[in-house]
Structure 1
């Protein structure tokens, strides 16, 4: 994770297991508890059908903990246009694709960001996440700072235009008391939370 170091983030401050997870992701197993906000549940069924057809962001609507299986695949930078790209493909217990994302980094104004592209039909959605330290924990956030100085945000890119979406996400990744990892992921639209995901992450 040293490539993410900047004046506002130091990978060396992270818990060793958190850093190891990001550097050797394929050596870890993951369970997720996906919780849609009550106000969003009437739309979740429609979303589930669309996401299942696309096999992208297919989180499902079943409550409770679910096992996710993942694999990491290297991607040629010439094909993607970014440097050191890797694809992370996650499957659910029914072997359906939940999430396909292409991970890279980029720098802007002396700061380094995670640059995560999610392929969609005729487009892609890109999350630009700013890493920061919270003691030995890791925070990844797309929330725009009050100064609006950074690149962080969630964008939709098509062949015609790129636009910032009214979405934000934040991850808090922590070492748990048993030496494993917990993560909490929150997503908001127009500032209103519609999705929360808790993760339990263990090394094989």
Structure 2
């Protein structure tokens, strides 16, 4: 007789497989080695993600993986995003330092869900986020009341160039994983302006976000993923099922604004939208570690 835990695990496997088949049905077939190489990003080999994808990702990129160290950053230099619509020289020094030395900053967070979407957020967190250790958007504000811990692993080419970074974020109170993502600079086909490319691995798939950079007149830094057609900046889901890889553009839109408050404390406002409805507001306070 199968134990209850085995039944639950089988149900979870069935749910995950059904989800991948759904994205195959509604998405478009893509070629990650040809026309759609811009969507080639790490996937996880098992249901539980956490940090288990790092070594395989390093192998696929032909890069060396460094352990988390002080001074590691999501980007080698914010100026790597310079292009027709953005110049890092217009961004405050503290913000440039955060991206170049992310591991040297401590993060505190607050969250506020729209009442309409909070039940759905709790359902996704319960069925997927906490279980797989990925994309576990905090639903209860007290969950993040003690702050968020983060580790940054840098991927380097044979010549020592930083080609990407993995940012792993966990709840300080419990150690549970919230996000585990790959960060790098990317260029979409036909778009001259480089963007920030973030990929969150999942079993046989991932969620990816391409974010357009902007510099505010007050030295702030803004990243947006506005609505647009397939191939533009925005959010995508990629799933592999039955040997076929499919992708769909999601109606999710994000806006990050990093800025210095009147007391020169670095803060971030993060809004998540579904179509025209705001789903979630997150606020981060970023303080240099002693």
Normalising by structure 1, what TM-score? 0.90
66 and 194 in structure 1: CA distance in 2 versus 1, 3 angstrom threshold: farther
Q: Are residue 69 (structure 1) and residue 149 (structure 2) matched?
A: yes
Preserved contact between residue 165 and residue 182 of structure 2 (Cα < 8 Å) = yes
1:154 corresponds to: 235
Q: State the SS of the aligned residue for 1:177.
A: coil
Greater share of helix residues, 1 or 2? 2
Normalising by structure 2, what TM-score? 0.65
1:127 corresponds to: 209
1:116 corresponds to: 198
Structure number with bigger Rg: 2
Consecutive unaligned residues of structure 1, counting only runs of 5 or more, are none
Mapped to 2, the partners of 1:182 and 1:66 lie a distance apart of: 17
Count of aligned residue pairs for this structure pair: 198
1:57 Cα deviation (Å)?
1.4
Preserved contact between residue 183 and residue 199 of structure 1 (Cα < 8 Å) = yes
Consecutive unaligned residues of structure 2, counting only runs of 5 or more, are 1-77
Mapped to 1, the partners of 2:146 and 2:269 lie a distance apart of: 15
2:223 corresponds to: 140
1:150 Cα deviation (Å)?
7.2
Name which of 48, 52, 55 aligns with 2:125: 48
**Larger CA deviation: 68-77 vs 122-131:** 68-77
Runs of 4+ residues deviating >4 angstroms = none
Aligned ranges for residues 99-110 of structure 1 at < 5 Å? 99-108=179-188, 109-110=191-192
Q: State the SS of the aligned residue for 1:18.
A: helix
1:94 Cα deviation (Å)?
0.7
Aligned ranges for residues 180-191 of structure 1 at < 5 Å? 180-191=265-276
138 and 150 in structure 1: CA distance in 2 versus 1, 3 angstrom threshold: farther
Preserved contact between residue 136 and residue 178 of structure 2 (Cα < 8 Å) = yes
Preserved contact between residue 33 and residue 66 of structure 1 (Cα < 8 Å) = no
Mapped to 2, the partners of 1:33 and 1:87 lie a distance apart of: 23
Greater share of strand residues, 1 or 2? 1
Preserved contact between residue 77 and residue 85 of structure 1 (Cα < 8 Å) = no
* Residues 176-200 of structure 1: per-residue CA shift (max 9 Å, x gap): 2222211000011122111110111
